[in-house]
Amino acid sequence: MTKAKIILVIIGLLLIFFASITEAKNYTPEISPGDGVTHLARKALFQFIGEHGIAPNFTVGHLLFMEDYLAKNKKGLKVLWPGGYPLSFSQAELQEAQARAGALTQTQILDLNNWANAVRDYYDFSVGKRKFRFKQKSLFSGPIVEGLASSPDFAVSKDKIFLLSFESKEGLPAKFFIIDISRIESPSVIASLVLPSARAYHGIVFENENIVDIIVSEGGEDLLLRIDISQPNNPKIIEKTKSHITAEDLYKQEMAISNLISKSYRFPQFYSIGKGVLENGIAYILTRDLNLSQRAFLFVFEIKENITPKFLDLIDLGISGNIFDMEIANHNLFLMDMTKLGYINIYQIAKFIE
């Protein structure tokens, strides 16, 4: 073998060796309290950028796309803290995310950069560090009521959930349930009430600690069914009158917070925007990832009178499915899963500064 051939063989072996090192390179970020998959994808992304740099024409919008792409590749994983476990991102995954970001259209980049402008106050993209964060703690997740007729609606007071089970095609009666949440980690049904038949049950309007109103359709008009809950163990229907609140009004009320935010912000195109709730000047917008994983997220905003809503955080709830309704009371967030009737997730939401 000639000297030249020997040199070529050595070079080839070295190339194979370094290629194997590159392929084996993984980024395994440290898990902090409150971290979900997106948080770890962001940390891995900045580790990768720190080592390899990034294309000079890349904007913050490109980085947002990359972290979302990396997180979606880990779809189906739960929130990683507490009881977290290591999550690794390979160099190949990061290079793929970079390549896909580079192929974005100008319209897609514009949308992402508009969103990036909204979040710049809470996140320093130059160093990959969050300035402000909300955290969530799961208090309860599971079925509360078995054998519901159809998709439910619910309302929440200080220590009770009021749950409505709509009438089904099979003729099962609509029912109203009162659920005790004084011990929030172990909610329990304390009473139920069979409701009169109607063409449609639209939803619950919580009046006060003694009265709950339910909006129904019957004979071509919207009616108000008033239930006395002053004795929680024995609820009673006390009135049935023409309602000043229509089914359309209920929907507008549910979407009022989300619509308010939408006037100031363009949400990323990969999220489906749902109901919003407001407590102590903080708005939570329920959203769903439009990817196959259908993961549930919360956009968090600060709302002050006559001031543009300020984006604070994006919380990955670590659950997937058709999460269609949400309520909040005493910093506890209640989510209803339409794919699992009677299944409720309860989170404690708190904010902290890193």
If you count DSSP H runs as helices and E runs as strands, how many of each does the chain have, helices first?
6, 20
Longest dimension (CA), the chain: 102
Q: Is the pLDDT of residue 259 over 80?
A: yes
Count Cβ atoms below 10 Å from residue 103 Cβ, excluding itself: 7
pLDDT over 80 (residue 193): yes
Residues listed for the chain: 354
pLDDT of 50 over the 70 cut? yes
Bridge partners of 227, per DSSP, are 212, 237
Alpha carbons 178 and 161: distance in angstroms, whole number? 6
In the chain, the amino acid numbered 240 is: K
Which pLDDT value is given to residue 168? 54
The secondary structure of residue 81, as a DSSP letter, is S
C-alpha dist (Å) from residue 278 to 149, 209, 300 = 30, 20, 10
DSSP track, 247-309? HHHHHHHHHHHHHHHHTT----TTEEEEEEEEETTEEEEEEEESSTT-EEEEEEEEEETTEEE
Asked if residue 286 has pLDDT above 60, the reply is yes
pTM of the model: 0.63
Among 31, 30, 19, 71, CA closest to 271: 71
What percentage of the chain exceeds 70 in pLDDT? 71
Q: What is the pLDDT of residues 3-24, one digit of tens each?
A: 555 554 455 454 444 444 445 5
Most confident of 106-120, 142-156, 294-308: 294-308
